[in-house]
Each structure stands twice: as structure tokens, then as C-alpha cells.
Copies of this chain bind each other. A is one copy, B any other.
């Protein structure tokens, strides 16, 4: 039975180094989303640490939302759900309160030089090009928000071969299926502006009425930026809540 040494910084506690080692293997795609990782017992043997230490390392990753324990079955790589996303807070006026995925309508797709904000967010060079998507998201036929999306051409070239009609309502499973790019986390930034004529028309609101802008930078498991997205929706339907302490 081999025992894999935990390299990294010797000064860090064991469970931290183990956590890093596990994260490494998730990032590398060795364990894919929805798959189970080895038993605590196995990991304990493999890395030659006590089960309690394995538990603490796994606890850390569970806390970070990367793993998920299931009593009696095992520990799984969690497929990130973006339920906490700011998008969720556009009031989808359904009285029932159930979560409904809005429909998508691709308005445009092109290969072009990205604007500076997108280029910097994605960490691209001056010369690199992006696939740009423009889409409208609707609920019950009514426009909810308007999106512009930039993706590095190098990673997402395969998207150019797909008929825009065939893009699903959810893009991330789509990226995974066609481009083997898996989104693990994101940062969203909320601001407010007044609607431009174009956006007002797309959303069906008055020109120069307030609009909520959500800028999203989505990253892979190795934290490299994969997608830059700008979404705009009518401010009247937006309501966001936080707990603080």
C-alpha cells in the first residue's frame, strides 16, 4: 500500500495540506462533478493520516461548497448551483415561489475583438478574440433580462459549430458538453444605470428608467476566468436580501 506524501508548505497543518491535495485532484478533473471521491478510510490510508484529519480536510471543502457528504453513501464532488446568484433576485412574479428557469433566445453570435473590460476580466492579450453571445431571457414570454457574453475563442471555438437554435436554456452544461470547460465559481458585481434606448426596447421598459446591471466573471476549478457576462434587467423587478452579523 503506497502512501502519497503531502508536499506543499511543511509549516501548514496536515489537514490544510490534505485539503489542498484534494482540491488539486478536483481541479485536475480526476474526480468529476457528481462523482464520489474515495472513502475517508481510503484517503486516510493513502495519505497516511488519521481519519479525523481527513474529516477536517473534507469538512473544509464542504464548507467551501466544493464537496457534499451524503450519509451512508459517500462524499461527492458538488456541481455548483448558482442559486445564490444575483439573477435569482429578479422577482419572478410566480406566486407559488418555485424556481423556474427562464427561456433563452440567442439574438446574436459573433467572433470579435472584446471590449477592454471583457479582455481584462478574462486575462487575454491585446490580439486575442472572443466569441460574443447576445441573448434575451424570458419568463412566460416576457423579457426578464438581456445578456451579453464573451468567451475566449481559444477555449470555446467549438461553440461556433453549433446552430444557435440548439443552445439550451442553461449555458454551463452546454460549455461542459461541447468545450469541456467546467464552471466552478463566479464573482458578480451589481450596479444601477439608466436604460439606453436599445436596452429599454429589448426589456420593454421606458427609456432612461433604472436598470440593474450584473457583471459576472465565471471561473473554472483552477480559478482561471472562463466567461465574462453583462446582464441587464428592469430595476423595478429587482429585490435582493442579505443576512449580516
A-side residues, CB < 8 A to B, are 64-66, 80, 82, 84-86, 184-194, 209-210, 212, 235-236, 238-245
Contacts and interface: CB of A to CB of B under 8 A. Distances in A.
A239 B190 contact: yes
Total identical chains:
2
Given A65-B245, A244-B186, A210 B239 contact: no
A239 B191 contact: yes
Contact of A192 (B64, B187, B192, B242): B192
B238 A210 contact: no
B190 A244 contact: no
Nearest to A216: B244
Contacts of A86: 242
Chain A at the B interface: SS class? strand
In the complex, which of the residues A80, A209, A239, A242 has the most CB atoms of chain B within 10 Å of its own CB atom? A242
A245 B191 contact: no
Nearest to A78: B245
A67 to B, nearest CB: 12
In the complex, which of the residues A185, A188, A244 has the most CB atoms of chain B within 10 Å of its own CB atom? A244
12 contacts: A80-B245, A82-B244, A84-B244, A86-B242, A185-B243, A190-B238, A190-B239, A191-B235, A191-B238, A192-B212, A192-B238, A240-B240
B243 A187 contact: yes
A194 B238 CA distance: 13
Contacts of A66: 245
A230 to B, nearest CB: 14
Contacts of A186: 243-245
A192 B235 contact: yes
A154 B188 CA distance: 42
A185 B212 CA distance: 27
B185 A245 contact: yes
